[in-house]
Structures are given as structure tokens and as C-alpha cells.
Amino acid sequence: MLNRVLDYARAHRDEYLKDLLEYLAIPSVSAQPDRARDVKMAALWLSGHLHEAGLRAEVMPTAGHPVVYAEWSGPDHHRPTVLIYGHYDVQPAEPFELWHSEPFRPVVRDGYLYARGASDNKGQHLAHVKAVVSYLRAEGTLPVNVKFLIEGEEEIGSPNLSAFIAAHRDLLACDCVMISDGALFNLTQPVLTYGLRGLVGFEVQVRCLDRDVHSGHYGGNVQNPAFALAQILASLKDAQGRVTVPGFYDDVRVLSAEERAALARIPYSDADVMRETGASMAFGEPEFTVNERKGVRPTLEVNGMWSGYTGPGSKTIIPATAHAKITCRLVPNQDPAKVIRLVQDAMRAAAPAGAEVTFSDARGTPASLVSLDAPQIQAAARAAAATYGNPPFYELEGGSIPVVHDFQSLLGKPIALLGFGLPDDNIHSPDERFAVVCYEKGIEASIRFIAEL
């Protein structure tokens, strides 16, 4: 059965790629209110696609963007059930001018499919969909029951997914969860992730004036909110990149010598960071290596910042306000609400005279660690080894997938985190891409995983 399904998938690679191109053309940017119709379109496209493939599929409402749910059950009630999670929403594509092709006009160039969402996450979850399609078309059946939960709010922190999972525990009942929303180490080296950082975020506004004013009339006589924000931000880290917010690291677990040794074995170094990002140096807490800083240390970053006139030429004003978008990546034991409070308290305390500081849009999810012993995780490991040619590395991931924490607390089942992308897919960046071979290998890995369960 397995070989026939694999052969079917290989024979239909062009059709499967065409479908992904179509899906990627829908600009489902969850963060942007004026894209709400496109987000809905992507949900409808996917549920229609699942329905055509022979699954029971529906678009289910939430308080925000809808969830696409689909399932296929065999006649034998004792077969295992796998729940496959993904997200059909994508990051904003701005700045558009840095893309070499349009983010929502997918093109294949030199073996890569370029489009916003190609790797994160449409290409990766559609690989699972195409694995199921291959079984159903080649064999008319699957050796397991399959459920798909594909959400539309991952890129904005999944604000409504906990409530959705809690309200639909019976519907989502399963034996294990499979999530492909990450990367291989390279094309022959898969990775099973056993830890994800959490994420908290908020926006800060510094207001000094009730409107922008003339910098000649008022310069030197009023507080400038851009300076005030700069002073506040500058107070949050020291010159080496350590976060100086009081209490920020208090709940962070001290690494054991074994953990440090294990992380030291990952062949990823300062030079890799420099090559991948264009940085002139790796930069961060000097007591830790890049692998430690990425996997087990929390971060505090500015994702965006703005104040006053940002157009061409000059405008000689003192701005009324200054703004920044702040996020922290959390490690296990850190409480999201506490971290938000600590950082906001530190920012308030650092506010200079004449600056009024307010916060909005606070949100957070804790970090997750998943167990690697379950037989389903070992099935994923065998499928990965057979597909890519090497047994997987076991790694901590610097990114965050909020739903992992919810699955752990609400479903309590093993979670396999097996990424299909590559580290240089430029996710969240201009020129996001997904290697065509990664899509095809992802389909194969999913087919093998289903067979191994």
C-alpha cells in the first residue's frame, strides 16, 4: 500500500504544486483588517479542497478568523486518530519593495516557490493534505483516522484557538498531534522539535504633546516623545544585549552541564547566524552560545517603532507621540502575564519627565516542552529517517507555536513537531520561499508517518 501511495504522489507532483500556487495567491494576512475577506477566502479554498478530496470539511467560526476543520474516519473504530494542525494565515508581506517577485503572485524560480506563506505555513500543511489525498485516490482508504485543524490566527498569536479547542474537545479527540511548521536542519537532516519558546507582546505609546508642533517654536522647551521612547528602550538592555528588566530572568531554569553539552553538539554557530541574516556578528548574552540563546534563553525585541514624520524629505516638527511594538520569547517556567508586567513596569519606571506611557494589545502564550518517548513520536522519527536519509536531530526551537501549549493542556496527547521547510526560507521576511523538493519530501514524510502509526 505504502509504495503505491508514494508512487501516486510522485506521479501527481505537478498537479499538487499547481494547487499550492493557487492557495498561496490568496493574501490571507490575519494581522491586517483590510485583508479579512482574503483570510476568509483562504479558509473557503482549503475547506473546499478537503471536501473535494473526500473529507468531511467545514469552516467553523471563532470570535476572530475561522478555523478549517476536516476529518476522514475509516470503518474500523479501533484504528488510531491523528490530528494535523497548521495555519492558513500568513505574516504581513511589507516591505513589498524588498521582494524580488510579488508576495501574492507565487512563482517558481531555481527550484524554489516564492510567496508569502509558502513555507509558513501553507506549503507545509498542504503537504499533509496531499498525503491524505494520495491515500484516498490511490487506495480509496487510509490506515488511520485523520483530522485537520487549520487555523487562521497563528500569526497574531492564536487569540481564539484555546477557546475553540476547549469547546470542541470531543470533535478534536485523537491519539496524537502532528505539526509541521518549522524547518529541517538541511535537505538530508530532519529535526524533531521538543521545545518551543513562548511569546508575549504588546504595543507601547509615549505621548508628550496633543499634536505635532513646530520644532523651531517649541524645540528645547518640550519633551520629545521619540527621545523619551529611545531612553525607555535603551534602559531595557545592557551593552552586551542582556535584558536589564528587574526579575526578567528570575524564573528561567539554569542549564545543566548535560543540556549545555547536548546543545553544543548542534552544528550551528555564530557564522551560521551571520550568513543567514547578514549580521556583522552574532550578538547576545555573552555567557551563552547561539544555540543556548536560541533555545533556552528568553528575549526582548522591538518588532517595529515609529514616531513623527517618516515620509520623504524633512518636516521640522516635534512629534506628539512615539510608538513601539515589543515581543518577548519565553522559555519554560516563565509566566506570560508576569513577564508583561515586569517589562511594562520597567518601561514606566524609565519614562522621563513629560512623557506619558500607555500600553495596549498585550497578549501571551507560555513556552512548551514535549515528550519524545511516545510511540507516535517514534513513528514520526522513522518516517523522517526514511524520507530524508538520516535519523532526526532533537532540538529546541526559538520560535513559538501558541497552540502547542493548548494541545498539551486541553488534549494531553503526544505532539510531533516535524518541520518540512529549510532554515533559509525567509519566513516573516521578504522573499519567503519553499523549495519544491521540500514540498514533495513533506508529502512523502506525511505518507510514511501515516503508514508508521
Residues 322-351 contacting its own copies, CB under 8 A: 322-325, 327, 329
Interacting residue with its own copies among 311, 360, 373, 412 (CB under 8 A): 311
Interacting residue with its own copies among 67, 165, 290, 339 (CB under 8 A): 290
Q: Report 131-150 residues binding its own copies (CB under 8 A).
A: none
Residue 178 or 396: the one with the smaller Cβ distance to its own copies is 396
Interacting residue with its own copies among 281, 360, 373, 412 (CB under 8 A): 281
Interacting residue with its own copies among 60, 209, 372, 374 (CB under 8 A): 209
Stretch that binds its own copies, among 6-14, 256-264, 280-288, 386-394 (CB under 8 A): 280-288
Cβ-based neighbours of 43, under 8 Å, separated by 6 or more: 28, 59, 65, 66, 67, 68, 88, 152
Q: Which among 440, 433, 441, 444 is positioned nearest to 99, based on CA atoms?
A: 433
Q: Report 149-178 residues binding its own copies (CB under 8 A).
A: 155-157
Q: Report 378-397 residues binding its own copies (CB under 8 A).
A: 397
Burial 255-280 (b: 16+ CB within 10 A, else e): beeeeeebbeebebeeeebeeeeeee
Residue 12 or 433: the one with the smaller Cβ distance to its own copies is 433
Q: Report 7-46 residues binding its own copies (CB under 8 A).
A: 30-33
302 binds its own copies (CB under 8 A): yes
Least distance to its own copies from the beta carbon of 26, Å? 18
360 binds its own copies (CB under 8 A): no
Least distance to its own copies from the beta carbon of 415, Å? 17
Residue 285 or 440: the one with the smaller Cβ distance to its own copies is 285
Burial 132-143 (b: 16+ CB within 10 A, else e): bbbbbebeeebb
77 binds its own copies (CB under 8 A): no
Question: Total residues contacting its own copies (rule CB under 8 A)?
Answer: 104
Residue 53 or 317: the one with the smaller Cβ distance to its own copies is 317
Residue 66 or 398: the one with the smaller Cβ distance to its own copies is 398
273 binds its own copies (CB under 8 A): yes
Report the distance separating Cα 444 and Cα 434, nearest Å.
Answer: 16
Residue 140 or 311: the one with the smaller Cβ distance to its own copies is 311
62 binds its own copies (CB under 8 A): no
User: Site map for its own copies, 185-204, x if CB under 8 A?
Assistant: ------------x-x-x---
Locate 124 and state its grid cell: 507545509
402 binds its own copies (CB under 8 A): no
Cβ–Cβ under 8 Å, residues 329 and 298: yes
**Which element (helix H / strand E) includes 9?**
helix 2-11
Long-range contact set of residues 67-70: C-beta below 8 Å, sequence gap at least 24: 67/43, 67/149, 67/150, 67/151, 67/152, 67/161, 67/164, 68/43, 68/148, 68/149, 68/150, 68/151, 68/152, 69/147, 69/148, 69/149, 69/150, 69/168, 69/171, 70/147, 70/148, 70/150
Backbone angle region of 157, left / alpha / beta, with phi > 0 → left and psi within -120 to 50 → alpha = left
Least distance to its own copies from the beta carbon of 205, Å? 13
Q: Report 237-256 residues binding its own copies (CB under 8 A).
A: 237, 239, 241
Packed helices 123-139 and 2-11: angle between N→C axes, nearest 10 degrees: 120
* Cα-to-chain-centroid distance, residue 390: 25
The two beta strands, 107-109 and 213-214, are unpaired
Least distance to its own copies from the beta carbon of 45, Å? 22
